[in-house]
Amino acid sequence: MTKVGKLGKLGILTGGGDAPGLNPAIKSVVYNAAEFGIECLGIYDGWQGLLDGYCEETMPLDPVTVRRWDRDGGTNIGSSRTNPFRLKPPGGGEPMDRSGEVLGNMDRLGLDALVVLGGEDTMGVAGKLAEMGAKIVGIPKTIDRDLWGTDYTLGFDTALINCTEIIDRSRTPAGSHHWVQVVEVMGRTVGHLALWSGVAGGAYLILIPEHKFRYDRVFELLEERHRRGARDRRYPRYAVIVVAEGAAAEHEDVVTIDQERDAFGHERLGGIGAVLSERIRKSTAYDSRAVTLGHPQRGGSPSPTDRVMGLLFGAEAVHAVIKGNFGKMVTVRGVAPACEFGTISLREVVGKISTVDVERWYNTERYHVKAKLVEP
């Protein structure tokens, strides 16, 4: 065991939507920190856990406690979408900046540094706190895979597998009843999850936020498939469409669940699948059904890739802490084992997102990946 200078205690927190891969990363941070004689403390429920009234309760994390965590989905220390820079008072009213409490409580808990696991919002808060003097290292996590500066974000692979499984399962009812099955997947404003689960699940059409679709073109492509299936029984008489929750038709807005916005100003997306399905029923020869996959798509045990990447990201984060490389998020080029790790400034990560490269990957005529993969 190598003792490191002044670093005695490391806080760990997970922010934003949960994702498979967080627990393996936490395990790795704890194991690697222990090698250097650093103690770890789990902060409950993201940034909320560092506010007055919440930080009294924390979870000491040692290698024995986290030994089995690499098999667990979600996050065992809880998460929230708390923004300490814009926090609504419980009784309503103007949002308040409570970031001072976060810094004060880091001191009070004796935290020499903090490892935060999250997406753009969590990194945004981390970046601002780092500028105020906090010693923070970030680990990228989101099933959306939209974080800037890194090729991989924890949770993406498991979500991809989960979505693909449901797309596969929706094929048999659709095939038996000759209808169009619309499958709505998450991803916020990007289409990585929709595009690649659609490809893996053999969807006929894939609609992504990066390219506005036209209803008349969707109907045309469906009619083409319907005519062929009707003429020759060797061809399918059904279709699966994967639509990203953030996809929208030309001249139309994204479909939202309600008018609410979260603490970071994000709309609650959802409902485009049902709208599309209804229009297909009205405008084509097909009957249609829609399913919104919702939160279970980021549920369950982490895939091998998410376990491996979580463990490797955790180790990299501890290396950054040891080297005093604060105010950074660990990044990766490629995915294990063919990958290279690095770091990027937390402030650079914010305000930019990684979208599907439409030019490279998306066929805007056939609403599919740019490769001949499906029969018309």
Residues serving a catalytic function are: 144
The DSSP-derived string for 13-44 is EE-SS--TTHHHHHHHHHHHHHHTT-EEEEET
CB closer to ligand F6P, 143 vs 241: 143
Least separation in angstroms between CB 370 and ligand F6P:
24
Instruction: Calculate the CA dihedral of residues 176, 180, 183, 189 and round it to 10 degrees.
Output: 160
Q: What is the DSSP letter of 191?
A: -
Distance CA 8, CA 243 (A): 48
What count of other Cβ atoms lies within 10 Å of the Cβ of residue 123?
30
Distance CA 128, CA 134 (A): 9
CB closer to ligand F6P, 127 vs 246: 246
CB closer to ligand F6P, 49 vs 187: 187
Distances (CA, A) of 144 to 125, 160, 327: 19, 10, 23
CB closer to ligand F6P, 171 vs 188: 188
Those residues whose C-beta lies under 8 Å from the C-beta of residue 214, and which sit 6 or more positions away, are: 249, 250
Chain positions contacting ligand F6P, by CB under 6 A: 17, 81, 119, 142-144, 186-188, 245, 269, 298
Least separation in angstroms between CB 269 and ligand F6P:
5
Q: Which of 224, 163, 223 is nearest to 199 (CA)?
A: 163
Position with the least CB separation from ligand F6P:
186
Least separation in angstroms between CB 17 and ligand F6P:
4
Least separation in angstroms between CB 144 and ligand F6P:
5
Least separation in angstroms between CB 119 and ligand F6P:
6
Amino acid found at 87: L
CB closer to ligand F6P, 144 vs 157: 144
